[in-house]
Amino acid sequence: MAHQSDLIATDIQAYLKAQEEKSMLRFITCGSVDDGKSTLIGRLLWDSKLIFEDQLASLEADSKRVGTQGEEIDYALLLDGLQAEREQGITIDVAYRFFSTDKRKFIVADTPGHEQYTRNMVTGASTADVAVILIDARKGVLTQTKRHSYLVSLVGIRKVVVAINKMDLVDYAESVFDTIRDDYEQFAEQLGFEEITFIPISALKGDNIIDPGPHTHWYHGPMLMSYLETVKVDTGATNRPFRMPVQWVNRPNLDFRGFCGTIASGSIAPGDEVVVPSSGQTSRVKSIVTMDGELEEAIAGQAVTLTLEDEIDVSRGDLLSAAGDRPDFADQFEARLVWMHEEPLLPGRSYLLKTGAQTIPVQVSGLKYKVNVNTLEHQAGKTLQLNEIGICNFSLGNPVAFDPYRENRATGNFILIDRMTNATVGAGMIDFALRRATNIHWQAVEVDKKSRSMMKDQKPCVLWFTGLSGAGKSTIANLVEKKMRSLGKHTYLLDGDNVRHGLNRDLGFTDADRVENIRRVGEAAKLFVDAGIIVLVSFISPFRSERDMAREMVEAGEFYEVYVNTPLEVCEQRDPKGLYKKARAGELKNFTGIDSTYEEPESPEIVVNAAEASAEELAEQIVQQVLKEDSSLNFTDGTER
Residues 6+ apart with CB under 8 A from 18: 5, 7
Alpha-carbon distances of 445 from 448, 449, 532, rounded to whole Å = 7, 10, 15
Over the stretch 600-637, which tens digit does the pLDDT of each residue have? 999 999 999 888 889 999 999 999 988 876 654 444 44
Beta bridge partners of 110: 29, 95
The whole-number average pLDDT for the span 63-89 is: 49
pLDDT at 38 > cutoff 60? yes
Report whether pLDDT(92) > 50. Answer: no
Lowest mean pLDDT among 74-78, 157-161, 189-193, 579-583: 74-78
What is the rounded distance in angstroms from the CA atom of residue 404 to the CA atom of residue 240?
A: 12
Tell whether the model's pLDDT for residue 83 goes beyond 60: no
pLDDT at residue 21 in the model:
64
**Strand, coil or helix: what is 359?**
strand
Whether residue 75 is predicted with pLDDT greater than 70 in this model: the reply is no
Q: Which CATH number fits domain 449-629: 3.40.50.720, 3.40.50.300, 3.30.365.10, 3.30.565.10?
A: 3.40.50.300
Strand partners, 532: none
417 versus 59: the higher-pLDDT residue is: 417
Over residues 69-92, the mean pLDDT reads: 47
User: Above pLDDT 70, what percent of the chain?
Assistant: 84
**Phi then psi for 303, rounded to 5 degrees?**
-95, 120
Please identify which of the residues 153, 541, 545, 631 carries the catalytic annotation.
Answer: 541
| 329-436 is a CATH 3.60.21.10 domain | no
The 3-state DSSP class for residue 435 equals helix
The whole-number average pLDDT for the span 505-527 is 89
pLDDT per residue as tens digits for the range 466-485: 999 989 999 999 999 999 99
Residue span(s) of the chain under CATH 3.40.50.300 come to 7-230, 449-629
Task: Just give the CATH number of 7-230.
Answer: 3.40.50.300
Model confidence pLDDT, tens digit, residues 505-514:
988 888 888 8
Distances (CA, A) of 257 to 247, 251, 273, 286, 623: 14, 5, 17, 11, 54
Q: Distance between CA atoms of 108 and 42, rounded to whole angstroms?
A: 11
Instruction: Give 376's pLDDT tier (boundaries 50, 70, 90).
Output: confident
At position 531, the amino acid (one-letter code) is A
Residue 228 has pLDDT above 50, yes or no: yes
Query: Is 541 a catalytic site residue?
Result: yes
Is pLDDT above 80 for 33? Answer: no
pLDDT at 206: 84
Question: Which of 25-29, 48-52, 355-359, 492-496 comes out lowest in average pLDDT?
Answer: 48-52
CATH of range 237-322; options 3.40.1170.60, 3.90.180.10, 3.30.1330.60, 2.40.30.10: 2.40.30.10
Predicted pLDDT at 241: 92
Q: What residues does CATH 2.40.30.10 cover in the chain?
A: 237-322, 329-436
- Strands 534-538 and 461-466 come out as parallel
Burial tier of 84 (Cβ tally within 10 Å: 0-12, 13-18, 19+):
exposed
Asked if 30 and 91 count as a contact pair (C-beta separation under 8 A), the reply is: no
Given a cut of 50, whether residue 3 has pLDDT beyond it is no
Give me the mean pLDDT over the 44-72 stretch: 56
pLDDT of residue 638: 41
**Residue range 75-87: mean pLDDT, rounded:** 46
What are the strands, taking DSSP E only, across 490-594? 491-495, 534-538, 559-564
State whether residue 392 is helix, strand or coil. Answer: strand
Q: Which is more confidently placed, 144 or 404?
A: 404
Q: What mean pLDDT, rounded, does the chain reach?
A: 84
Confidence of residue 156 (pLDDT cuts 50, 70, 90): confident
Higher pLDDT, 528 or 148: 528
Taking 60 as the threshold, does the pLDDT of residue 382 lie above it? yes
> CA 472 to CA 609: how far, in whole Å?
9
pLDDT tens for each residue of 322-336:
999 999 999 999 999
CA distances from 476 to 573, 599, 606 (A): 18, 21, 13
Confidence band for 130, pLDDT divided at 50, 70 and 90: very high
Flag whether pLDDT at 534 surpasses 90: yes
3-state secondary structure of 274: strand
pTM over 0.85: no
pLDDT digits (tens, 9 = 90+) for 265-318: 999 999 999 999 988 899 999 999 998 889 999 998 899 999 999 988 899 999
Write phi, then psi, for 50 (nearest 5 degrees).
-115, 30
Averaged pLDDT for residues 21-32: 81
Cα distance between residue 442 and residue 585, in whole Å: 51
451 three-class SS? helix
